[in-house]
């Protein structure tokens, strides 16, 4: 289905999440997936559609101007027909422009489809069906103005010019209780470093290059019920829950966010820190 | 009616226990409708399907949200993950030779009190995560 078709099929709640681009939820994983998956599906379909609408907008404007100029220089019927055609092309451009703006306004971070949805799909396996999972997600762009923390601008005169901006994006946190009684809390904070390099070549032509690097910090806290799990290290006698804190940091390109494998690896590492409790109820 | 013999979970595994809808055409275990694979036309369990697609079981998640059957993806990913990350899930069910290639960490059956389910209620009847 087309992106605009998918957009039209969204519920009012889904549309309001798309508009706000951030949401706090506390529901069973099945319900969260039913709510968020259509938004992610729309976002994935909208990426090429947005590009297409942008291209046709530009092409139609250029074409209508060319036809209009041609028409003005003609006489009689030919003039009438070409000006009419220019008008029609302009209407087409307006329609493409509206579509483009609509899709642009509804753009959410790829983190939804690349991290939140797969992570919830795995979590759903370990959380009892009726148990809620708490989510707090910010899907606005990582380089949104409100996330800007630092502008490093070492050289303001002359070329090459190097401007680095740093953004802090604490975009994902949540908690859940697994069916085995283990409590889980997680938090993902991305740090974007955007480097803009402006060069001037010997002929005086100015060229700009932008590079974005993402550093993801993932923190996971797990509390294992000692009824089922025996800590391998640092056990406190008599504790009902054994808390384990884990953290991981990864640097990478913006196109391949590492949040999903990092979350899974950290939780798996947490489970590696405990043994099955002797005599635990099965 | 038989109970579904598929194991649910990722970090720890537990019996599904839902009423079985049919028997898997490949392993002939009874399985519920949720544990049947759509790509097999609902004739094969998700575990058997995961074995068949092992090669691309670790394909990038989220490539087709809402289009892929995500539970089917999860079972393929689970199988691939255990192998590639040498992860040994805890096992809250009976030993099942079907899962022999999973390195499962089992609980000591004989010492356990028999009825405390893992979704967990303490003696006072409260879910066991409220007691901290
Ligand atoms: Zn099977
Ligand atoms: Zn089942």
Residues 42-101 of A with CB under 8 A from B: 44
Instruction: Report pLDDT digits (tens) over A147-205.
Output: 998 888 766 677 888 889 999 999 999 999 999 999 999 999 999 999 988 888 888 88
Q: Which of A248, A271, A270 is nearest to A260 (CA)?
A: A248
Task: Give percent of chain A with pLDDT exceeding 70.
Answer: 98
Q: Are residues A146 and A269 in the same domain?
A: yes
Is A11 domain-assigned?
A: yes
- To the nearest whole angstrom, how far is the Cα of A144 from the nearest Cα of chain B? 24
Q: Is A134 exposed, middle or buried (0-12, 13-18, 19+ CB in 10 A)?
A: middle
Query: Domain range spanning residue A223?
Result: 137-276
Residue A29 domain-assigned?
no
Is A113 a domain residue? no
Predicted pLDDT of residue B61: 54
In the DSSP assignment, the letter for residue B36 is B
Using a CB–CB cutoff of 8 Å, tell me whether A268 touches chain B: yes
pLDDT at B114 over 60: no
Selection from A47-56, A93-102, A267-276 with the highest mean pLDDT: A267-276
Distance from CA of B28 to the nearest CA of A (A): 23
Residue A132 domain flag: no
| Arithmetic mean of pLDDT, B9-32 | 94
Q: Which of A33, A179, A267 sits opposite B118 (nearest CB)?
A: A179
Model pTM score = 0.85
Q: How many CB atoms lie within 10 A of CB A137?
A: 22
Going edge to edge, which strands form the sheet with B90-91? B7-8, B12-15, B90-91, B105-106
In a domain, A126, yes or no: no
Q: Residue B124's pLDDT band (boundaries 50, 70, 90)?
A: very low
pLDDT at residue B131 is higher than 50: no
For residues A159 and A42, state if they share a domain. Answer: no
Count of structural domains, chain A: 2
Which residues, in sequence order, are bridge partners of residue B3? Answer: B19
Question: What confidence score (pLDDT) does residue B36 get?
Answer: 93
Segments in chain A forming alpha helices (H): 3-8, 12-20, 29-72, 76-105, 111, 117-126, 259-272
* Chain B: residue whose CA lies nearest to A122: B74
Higher pLDDT, A222 or B102: A222
Q: Kindly list the domain boundaries of chain B, sorted by start residue.
A: 7-55, 59-101
Tell me if A226 is assigned to some domain: yes
Cβ-contact B11, A271 below 8 angstroms? yes
Q: Which contiguous run of DSSP H or E holds residue B91?
A: strand B90-91
Q: Which of A88, A108, A128 is the last residue of a domain?
A: A108
A235 shares a domain with A177: yes
Mean pLDDT for the stretch of residues A209-218: 93
* ipTM of predicted assembly, 2 dp: 0.84
Provide the pLDDT for residue A193.
92
Are A264 and A144 within one domain?
A: yes
Is residue A34 over pLDDT 60? yes
What pLDDT is stored for residue B53 in this prediction?
66
- pLDDT value for B69: 55
Task: Look at residue A124 and tell me if it is in a domain.
Answer: no
Q: Which residue has the higher pLDDT, B58 or B92?
A: B92
* Residue among B11, B70, B81 whose CB faces A271 most closely: B11
Tokens found for residue A73 = 């220089």
Residues A76, A149, single domain; the answer is no
Burial class of residue B51 in the structure, from the number of CB atoms within 10 Å of its CB (0-12 exposed, 13-18 middle, 19+ buried): middle
The dihedral over CA atoms of B70, B75, B76, B82, expressed in degrees to the nearest 10, equals: 140
CA–CA min distance B129, chain A (Å): 6
- What are the tens digits of pLDDT across the range B61-111? 544 554 445 888 899 899 989 999 999 999 998 878 899 888 889 886 544
Radius of gyration of chain B, Cα coordinates, nearest whole angstrom: 16
Indicate the pLDDT class of residue B30, thresholds 50, 70 and 90.
very high
Ligand with the closest atom to the CA of B6 = 2
Instruction: Indicate if the pLDDT at residue B125 is higher than 70.
Output: no
Report the candidate in A69, A114, A63 with the shortest Cα–Cα distance to residue A89: A63
Ligand 1 centroid from CA B26, angstroms = 5
Among B70, B85, B128, whose Cβ lies nearest the Cβ of A181? B128
Q: What is the mean pLDDT of residues A211-240?
A: 94
In the predicted model, what is the mean pLDDT of residues A210-220? 94
Q: Which of A91, A108, A125 is the last residue of a domain?
A: A108
**CA of B71, nearest ligand number:** 2
**pLDDT tens digits along A51-60:** 888 898 999 9
Q: What is the pLDDT of residue A280?
A: 58
Q: How sure is the predictor about A62, in pLDDT bands with cuts at 50, 70 and 90?
A: very high
Q: Is residue A184 part of a domain?
A: yes
């Amino acid at each position: 289905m087309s992106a605009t078709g998918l957009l039209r099929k969204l519920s009012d709640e889904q549309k309001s999440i798309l508009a706000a681009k951030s949401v706090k939820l506390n529901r069973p994983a099945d319900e969260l997936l039913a709510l968020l998956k259509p938004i992610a599906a729309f976002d994935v379909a909208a990426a090429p559609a947005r590009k297409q609408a942008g291209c046709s907008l530009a092409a139609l404007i250029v074409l209508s101007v060319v036809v209009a100029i041609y028409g003005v220089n003609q006489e009689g019927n030919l003039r009438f027909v070409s000006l009419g055609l220019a008008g029609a092309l302009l209407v087409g451009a307006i329609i493409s422009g509206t579509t483009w703006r609509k899709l642009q306004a509804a753009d959410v971070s790829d983190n939804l489809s690349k991290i939140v949805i797969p992570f919830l799909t795995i979590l759903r396996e370990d959380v009892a069906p009726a148990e809620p999972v708490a989510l707090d997600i910010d899907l606005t762009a990582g380089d949104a103005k409100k996330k800007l923390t630092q502008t490093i601008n070492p050289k303001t005169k002359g070329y090459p010019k190097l401007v680095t901006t740093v953004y802090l994006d604490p975009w994902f946190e949540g908690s859940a209780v697994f069916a085995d009684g283990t409590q889980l809390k997680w938090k993902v904070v991305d740090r974007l470093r955007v480097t803009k390099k402006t060069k001037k070549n010997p002929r005086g032509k100015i060229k700009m290059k932008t590079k974005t690097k993402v550093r993801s910090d993932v923190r996971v806290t797990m509390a294992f019920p000692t009824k089922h799990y025996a800590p391998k290290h640092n056990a406190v006698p008599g504790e009902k829950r054994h808390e384990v804190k884990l953290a991981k940091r990864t640097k990478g390109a913006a196109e391949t966010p590492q949040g999903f494998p990092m979350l899974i690896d950290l939780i798996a590492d947490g489970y590696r820190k405990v043994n099955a409790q002797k005599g635990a109820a099965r | 009616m038989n109970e579904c013999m598929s194991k649910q979970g990722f970090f720890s595994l537990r019996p599904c226990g839902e009423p079985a809808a049919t028997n898997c055409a490949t392993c002939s275990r009874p399985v519920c409708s949720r544990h049947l694979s759509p790509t097999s036309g609902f004739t094969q369990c998700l575990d058997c399907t995961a074995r068949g697609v092992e090669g691309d079981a670790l394909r990038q998640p989220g490539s087709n949200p809402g289009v892929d059957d995500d539970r089917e993806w999860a079972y393929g990913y689970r199988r691939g993950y255990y192998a590639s990350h040498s992860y040994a899930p805890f096992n809250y069910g009976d030993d099942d030779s079907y899962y022999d290639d999973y390195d499962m960490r089992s609980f000591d059956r004989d010492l356990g009190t028999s009825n405390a389910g893992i979704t967990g209620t303490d003696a006072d009847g409260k879910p066991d995560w409220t007691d901290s």
